[in-house]
Amino acid sequence: MRTLLKNPSQIVTVNANGKKFKRGSEMNAIEVMTDHSIIIEEGRIQSFVQNDDINPDEIDKIIDVTDKIILPGLVECHTHTAFSGSRAEEFKLRLRGLTYEEIAKQGGGIINTVEAVRKSSFDDLVETIKPRVEHFISQGITALEIKSGYGLSFYDEIKLLQVINELNKIFKISIVPTFLGAHTFPPEYNNDHEKYIDLIVNEMLPYIAEHNLAKFCDGFCELTAFSAKQIKRIFVAADKLGFKLKLHTDQFNSIGGLDVALNLNAASVDHLEVLKVEEIIKFKTSDTAAVLLPGVSFFLNYGYAPARKLIDDNAIVALATDFNPGSSHIDNLHLIMGLAALKMNMTIEETITAVTLNAAYALDLSNQTGSIEIGKRADFAVFDAEDYSEIVYSIGRNLNVMTIKDGEIIYSMEQ
Ligand code: NIG
Ligand code: FE
């Protein structure tokens, strides 16, 4: 079966020339094709054909995208979408002057959501999260990472990972599960943190590996959460079991997590709002992606990660929403692109690379998605715009009108 994606005005390929990521100045090179259509076969990009050379006899199905702009399917590489409950009350407290960290210290924050998740059944969680996934798909997203981290007991962390795996079965997009048992310490281990780490290392990780419930192991290295030494113990164990690694680090304090993650060749280090100037150079030759989350800076009203300096210093930069109920109640990747451009001085081309190829790389998926290249999966976001720059310029507005996964239309605005 051959499908023709016919006559788009622009194809923004983000061509990586077979490489897995773009670093530094390469992020600006996104390659735009005009006067071409795309032939899809068996869910993969088979070839590009000049519009004048299309042979209708060789085509079984046509998806007409005349006047539309085609991008690789967007990749959302850092979310905490698997939560229940609301933290609107905490939002109100913050508006009255309390900080996110103060709320966490008073027993609110992540623990507030943990209480809600522990009370939610598997079925409740699936039903709560489904519309959130649909909303991501409507934005042109074809790969979505979702973390656990609001269960923090053996039973509830496994329940969350099973929910995320169930969602991956329900939806055609790739939903990538990440284990975030090391999000914060649950109250029942307040007096014995090492015992909770024992539980992660000796029970949770082996079970999750055996049942193939997560691809990544993540952690939160922060004064109010896990020390660098504690993260190292968890990561060494996870690495041995075959997990790929990600780390929340340098969000509020820089306490050594960065080196632990870089030394263990983590797939990504995420946040970096307080990354020290002298540490930026570490990304120059490292193959670990820097996943930046400007929605958190916007939502918590504090400094932005040094995106410009990282890119100028040759880092591999990706962008994500960090969608969660406490520090970034933002599920809009298009708003994130706008914030990256306006608040972090990223060019339009860099933001596009950061939500396609480099985000796919942060999920270890860039060999199959994230750019429009022959042999890759036929994953596309289709935009109603005159020029690709409008996708970023229309701050927070979703110009995606069609989402295609493996050559199939999975969302269309007309539907
Ligand atoms: O990525 N930093 C820790 N975790 C989330 C926030 C989670 C929450 O507040 O519920 C984050 O910012
Ligand atoms: Fe996060």
Reading the chain (415 residues) residue by residue, the pLDDT tens digits are 999 999 999 999 999 998 999 999 999 999 999 999 999 999 999 999 999 999 999 999 999 999 999 999 999 999 999 999 999 999 999 999 999 989 988 889 999 999 999 999 999 999 999 999 999 999 999 999 999 999 999 999 999 999 999 999 999 999 999 999 999 999 999 999 999 999 999 999 999 999 999 999 999 999 989 999 999 999 999 999 999 999 999 999 999 999 999 999 999 999 999 999 999 999 999 999 999 999 999 999 999 999 999 999 999 999 999 999 999 999 999 999 999 999 999 999 999 999 999 999 999 999 999 999 999 999 999 999 999 999 999 999 999 999 999 999 999 997 5
- Reference 345, options 373, 369, 317; nearest CA is 317
Please state, in angstroms and rounded to a whole number, the distance separating the CA atoms of residues 257 and 225. Answer: 11
- Evaluate: CB of 322 within 6 angstroms of ligand 1: yes
CA of residue 103 relative to chain centroid, distance: 26
Report the pLDDT value the prediction gives residue 105, as an integer from 0 to 100. Answer: 85
β-partners of residue 289 are 268
Q: Which helix (H) or strand (E) holds 36?
A: strand 36-41
Cα(80) to ligand 1 centroid in Å equals: 8
Cα(109) to ligand 1 centroid in Å equals: 8
Three-state secondary structure call for residue 131: helix
Q: What is the pTM of this model?
A: 0.98
- Evaluate: CB of 109 within 6 angstroms of ligand 1: yes
For 83-231, strand residue ranges (E) read 141-147, 174-182, 216-221
- Evaluate: CB of 113 within 6 angstroms of ligand 1: yes
| Residue range(s) of every CATH 2.30.40.10 domain in the chain | 2-72+370-412
Three-state secondary structure call for residue 38: strand
| Residue range(s) of every CATH 3.20.20.140 domain in the chain | 75-362
The CATH classification number of 75-362 equals 3.20.20.140
The pick from 76, 220, 330 for probing ligand 1's pocket by mutation, whose C-beta has the most ligand atoms within 8 angstroms, reads 220
Report the pLDDT value the prediction gives residue 133, as an integer from 0 to 100. Answer: 98
Direct distance between the N- and C-terminal alpha carbons of the chain, in angstroms, rounded to an integer = 24
Cα(79) to ligand 2 centroid in Å equals: 6
Three-state secondary structure call for residue 178: strand
- Evaluate: CB of 249 within 6 angstroms of ligand 1: no
Which atom of ligand 1 approaches the CA of 100 most closely?
9
Report the pLDDT value the prediction gives residue 414, as an integer from 0 to 100. Answer: 74
CATH of 2-72+370-412, one of 2.30.40.10, 2.60.40.10, 3.40.50.150, 3.40.50.11710: 2.30.40.10
Report the pLDDT value the prediction gives residue 107, as an integer from 0 to 100. Answer: 84
Cα(110) to ligand 1 centroid in Å equals: 7
DSSP 202: I
Report the pLDDT value the prediction gives residue 240, as an integer from 0 to 100. Answer: 98
Cα(269) to ligand 1 centroid in Å equals: 14
User: What's the length of the chain?
Assistant: 415
Which atom of ligand 1 approaches the CA of 110 most closely?
10
- Reference 9, options 31, 35, 30; nearest CA is 35
Q: Which ligand is nearest to the CA of 113?
A: 1
List the residue whose alpha carbon is closest to atom 12 of ligand 1. 327
- Evaluate: CB of 81 within 6 angstroms of ligand 1: no
- Evaluate: CB of 248 within 6 angstroms of ligand 1: yes
Which atom of ligand 1 approaches the CA of 104 most closely?
9
Cα(324) to ligand 1 centroid in Å equals: 6
Cα(29) to ligand 1 centroid in Å equals: 32
